[in-house]
Amino acid sequence: MDSTSGRASAPDPNSGEPGPSAGSSSVSASLPQQQQPEGSSPPAPPSRYESQKRRDWNTFLQYLKNHKPPLTLARCSGAHVIEFLKYLDQFGKTKVHITGCPYFGHQNPPAPCSCPLKQAWGSLDALIGRLRAAYEENGGRPESNPFGARAVRIYLREVREGQSKARGIPYEKKKRKRSNVAVAAVNVSVEGAGGGSTSGGGEGSGDADSSAAASSAAATTTV
């Protein structure tokens, strides 16, 4: 009786058939290469604006959760947004002088005072812009966006005017200036064609848009 009949026969090295261990190792070694195809690049990190917008949105949702009584996003109105902006004043770093302060209206007061610190108007205005965009990006309808409510716009305008008087800093929008480049180009072309006559020069239609962008003070709006 053959002594090797009760044991599995070893693969013949000359038959060209690999053993079980060799086959399993080759399959396992090929798995990582299939999961990560060649030429793939990691996703680009979000921009600073997108990261700040996400933090602001999460902060507002946490505020609604901690509200007494708790509020849902569907029941949030412009009045709740104004309440949230007033809540953020406790984290502000901008000195806003009250009416009875001797430095009321002084842009650079010579000495400190006990007036409260609040959120600057520019920070609140930029914050509302980010939250308004985040609301619609998360499924909200534009017509029901509480951050675009008329009451919120009125509140921001009152904050801007109040801080302008208290801090002595005018918040005036830059006026649109008419560009004179087109006028000069027309005059030059007429002079070249008519021997120096400038009677046919008309006004140009290109208006230069002013760059009135609000400062995104991310540090002062982070709760």
Instruction: Choose the weakest-confidence range: 81-85, 95-99, 215-219.
Output: 215-219
Identify the architecture of domain 48-167 in CATH.
Orthogonal Bundle (1.10)
Which residues, 6 or more positions from 113, have their beta carbon under 8 angstroms from its beta carbon? 95, 97, 101, 102, 103
The average confidence (pLDDT) of the chain is: 73
Model pLDDT, residue 170: 80
Could you report the per-residue pLDDT of 98-145, keeping only the tens digit for each? 999 999 998 889 999 999 999 999 999 999 999 999 999 999 999 999
B/e letters for 144-163, b = 16+ CB within 10 Å, e = fewer, are: ebbbbbeebeebbeebbeeb
Could you report the per-residue pLDDT of 140-171, keeping only the tens digit for each? 999 999 999 999 999 999 999 999 999 988 87
pLDDT score of 85 more than 90 = yes
Q: Kindly list the domain boundaries of the chain, sorted by start residue.
A: 48-167
Both tokens assigned to 15: 């038959």
Model pLDDT, residue 178: 54
More confident residue, 142 or 180: 142
Give the E-state strand segments of the chain in sequence order. 94-95, 117-118, 177-178, 207-208
Residue 119, SS3 per DSSP: coil
pLDDT score of 212 more than 50 = no
CA angle, residues 19, 23, 28, in degrees to nearest 5: 150
Q: How far apart are the first and last CA of the chain?
A: 85
Please tell me whether the peptide bond between 69 and the residue prior to it is cis, using omega within 30 degrees of 0.
yes
Question: pLDDT over 70 for what percent of the chain?
Answer: 58
pLDDT score of 23 more than 50 = no
Could you report the per-residue pLDDT of 30-58, keeping only the tens digit for each? 444 555 555 666 777 889 999 999 999 99
Residue 188, SS3 per DSSP: helix
Residue 117, SS3 per DSSP: strand
Question: pLDDT over 90 for what percent of the chain?
Answer: 50
